[in-house]
């Protein structure tokens, strides 16, 4: 695999003594591969899954439709949707060994929560289902492993959450679609259709989003030929970082900290002037409004209520203050700001906000793993050495 920066190839032989590479910190904007899965066009405020607008998919299609699109390259017709939904629903139940191990995983990770427990549980699931390195499998078997992993993640996350609270896990139901079943396993009762549709739209809107840190991590591991579970565990580890997936609950914590409308201006000015980050605002790619935020704001406003009214007012005042204090910078709400509001309105506990994001993104990760597995070239970039000049004599002990 070649790495491209500023449209120039940077093929660096392993171990070669090369000139310094003109690559931006964090690989920002560096193209590392080709993909047919989708793209984020930050200057336009638009992103898509394959050839379709992700926002339009979130508004008009089911989660299973989008899952089928990411794995098979096309939206299903009614018959294929029914077959795919039934097939994935049958994979939700866990192998006995995995189910029996979950109480111990939940107890051990009672402080770190379900997302940390998922890393261990996914490894165990891969072993129990006999996942083998993608390097040794054909495309069909890789897809089978990825389907099994994606279908099991909501079961694992909700079970770990409930066990961590001293509650018995709720078995999945084959007659409920993905989003409705997720909420059922989380709460133990069927959610209202309005809540199901809100969460389903959120899940669809977060299935994939370019080469973010966790997606790239999954592809790096897949490029080694490792199995699907290993690649997903690595992605979950990347997602657990607060700079990546940990913001939905933190954005809601910001609303709590502000408290009332009369405190907004003073609270925000103090944070901005002190250099603090306002959680839920700004995005490394979008230079305009995050389309996911716009989608979720509409969903939240459809619910209405004091929380939504307050969130909209905070957004308005924060953007005005940022425009005043940081002129020339486009800083708007990102997906996390209204994601937290929507999940709160639908009754999800805050510790499950990022795991819920994971229940969606696992499909995008898996699609990227499948695509990467078609390329036998390992991802092996170079680093610029900046230490003391070598070689130096090794001092005697």
CB 147 within 8 A of CB 91: yes
Segment 250-257 shows an average pLDDT of 87
pLDDT above 90 covers a percentage of the chain that reads 72
In a domain, residue 397? The reply is: no
Largest CA distance in the chain: 75
Q: What pLDDT shows up at residue 18?
A: 46
* CA pair distance 236, 122, nearest whole angstrom: 10
* CA pair distance 137, 148, nearest whole angstrom: 15
Residues 56 and 198 in one domain: yes
Tokens representing 250?
């933190």
Residues 104 and 251 in one domain: no
| Between 378 and 287, the higher pLDDT residue | 378
Render pLDDT for 35-56 as a digit per residue (tens, 0 to 9): 999 999 888 889 999 999 999 9
In a domain, residue 219? The reply is: yes
Question: In this model, does residue 330 exceed pLDDT 60?
Answer: yes
Residues 359 and 333 in one domain: no
How many domains are there within the chain?
A: 2
In a domain, residue 284? The reply is: yes
Tokens representing 350?
């805050």
Last residue of a domain, one of 345, 364, 382: 345
In a domain, residue 46? The reply is: no
Half-sphere exposure of 110 (CA within 13 A, CB side): 9
CB 369 within 8 A of CB 223: no
Residues 92 and 228 in one domain: yes
Q: What pLDDT shows up at residue 286?
A: 66
Q: What pLDDT shows up at residue 290?
A: 86
Tell me the CATH number at 100. Answer: 1.10.580.10
Catalytic residue among 68, 161, 209, 283: 283
Residues 90 and 195 in one domain: yes
Segment 328-348 shows an average pLDDT of 86
* CA pair distance 311, 260, nearest whole angstrom: 10
* CA pair distance 87, 52, nearest whole angstrom: 24
Residues 56 and 202 in one domain: yes
CB 45 within 8 A of CB 289: yes
Catalytic residue among 64, 200, 315, 336: 336
Residues 108 and 214 in one domain: yes
Residues 230 and 298 in one domain: no
Residues 332 and 358 in one domain: no
Tell me the CATH number at 316. Answer: 1.10.230.10
Judge whether 283 counts as a catalytic residue.
yes
pLDDT band at 15 (very low <50, low <70, confident <90, very high): very low
Question: In this model, does residue 1 exceed pLDDT 50?
Answer: no
Q: What pLDDT shows up at residue 274?
A: 86
Residues 82 and 155 in one domain: yes
In a domain, residue 134? The reply is: yes
Judge whether 336 counts as a catalytic residue.
yes
In a domain, residue 254? The reply is: yes
pTM: 0.90
In a domain, residue 16? The reply is: no
Render pLDDT for 198-228 as a digit per residue (tens, 0 to 9): 999 999 999 999 999 999 999 999 999 999 9
For residue 327, give its domain range.
247-345
Residues 71 and 210 in one domain: yes
In a domain, residue 138? The reply is: yes
Render pLDDT for 154-207 as a digit per residue (tens, 0 to 9): 999 999 999 999 999 999 999 999 999 999 999 999 999 999 999 999 999 999
CA 109, chain centre distance (Å)? 21
pLDDT band at 245 (very low <50, low <70, confident <90, very high): low
Residues 212 and 262 in one domain: no
Last residue of a domain, one of 327, 345, 363: 345
Segment 88-96 shows an average pLDDT of 98
* CA pair distance 191, 208, nearest whole angstrom: 25
| Between 350 and 29, the higher pLDDT residue | 350
């Amino acid at each position: 695999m070649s790495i491209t920066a500023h449209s120039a190839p940077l093929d660096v032989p392993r171990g070669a003594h090369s000139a310094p590479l003109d690559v931006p910190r964090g690989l920002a904007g560096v193209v590392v591969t080709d993909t047919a899965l989708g793209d984020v066009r930050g200057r336009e405020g638009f992103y898509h899954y394959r050839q379709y607008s992700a926002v339009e998919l979130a508004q008009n299609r089911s989660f299973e439709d989008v899952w089928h699109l990411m794995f098979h390259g096309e939206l299903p017709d009614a018959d294929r949707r029914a077959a795919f939904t039934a097939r994935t629903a049958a994979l939700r139940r866990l192998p006995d060994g995995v189910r029996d191990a979950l109480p111990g995983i939940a107890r051990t990770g009672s402080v770190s929560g379900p997302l940390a427990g998922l890393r261990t549980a996914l490894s165990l699931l891969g072993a129990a289902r006999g996942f083998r390195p993608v390097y040794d499998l054909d495309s069909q078997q890789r897809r089978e492993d990825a389907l099994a992993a994606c279908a099991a993640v909501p079961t694992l996350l909700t079970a770990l959450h409930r066990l961590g609270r001293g509650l018995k896990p709720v078995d999945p139901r084959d007659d409920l679609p993905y989003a409705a079943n997720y909420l059922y396993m989380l709460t133990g009762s069927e959610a209202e259709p309005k809540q199901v549709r809100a969460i389903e739209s959120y899940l669809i809107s977060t299935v994939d989003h370019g080469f973010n840190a966790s997606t790239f991590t999954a592809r790096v591991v897949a490029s080694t030929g490792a199995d699907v579970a290993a690649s997903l565990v690595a992605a979950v580890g990347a997602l657990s970082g607060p700079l990546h997936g940990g913001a939905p609950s933190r954005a809601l914590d910001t609303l709590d900290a502000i408290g009332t409308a009369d405190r907004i201006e003073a609270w925000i000015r103090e944070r901005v002037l002190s250099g603090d980050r306002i959680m839920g605002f700004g995005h490394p790619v979008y230079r305009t409004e995050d389309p996911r935020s716009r989608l979720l704001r509409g969903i939240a406003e459809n619910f209405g209520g004091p929380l939504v009214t307050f969130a909209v007012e905070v957004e308005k005042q924060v953007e005005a203050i940022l425009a005043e204090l940081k002129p020339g910078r486009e800083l708007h709400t990102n997906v996390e700001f209204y994601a937290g509001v929507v999940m709160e309105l639908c009754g999800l506990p805050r510790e499950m906000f990022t795991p819920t994001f994971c229940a969606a993104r696992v499909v995008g990760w898996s699609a990227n793993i499948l695509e990467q597995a078609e390329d036998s070239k390992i991802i092996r970039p170079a680093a610029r050495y900046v230490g003391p000049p070598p070689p130096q004599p090794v001092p005697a002990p």
